[in-house]
Amino acid sequence: MVNNMPDSPLSAITMLLMVLAAACNCTDRDPIPVDGIALKGVTIIDGRGSPPQADRVVEIREGRIAAISPAADYTSTPGVEVHELGGHYVTPGFIDTHAHDIRFVEDNWE
Quote the pTM value. Answer: 0.57
Beta bridge pairs of residue 67: 59
**54-89 residue pLDDT tens:** 999 999 988 888 999 999 999 988 889 999 999 999
C-alpha–C-alpha distance, residues 34 and 78, integer Å: 10
The CATH number, out of the four listed (1.20.120.1080, 2.40.10.120, 2.30.40.10, 2.40.30.170), of the domain defined by the range 32-110: 2.30.40.10
Q: Nearest-5° angle of CA 101, CA 104, CA 107?
A: 130
DSSP 36-101: EEEEEEEEE--SSSPPPEEEEEEEEETTEEEEEEEGGG--PPTTEEEEE-TT-EE-TT-S-SS---
Per-domain boundaries in the chain: 32-110
Q: Which amino acid is at 45?
A: I
pLDDT tens column, 13-25: 666 566 656 555 5
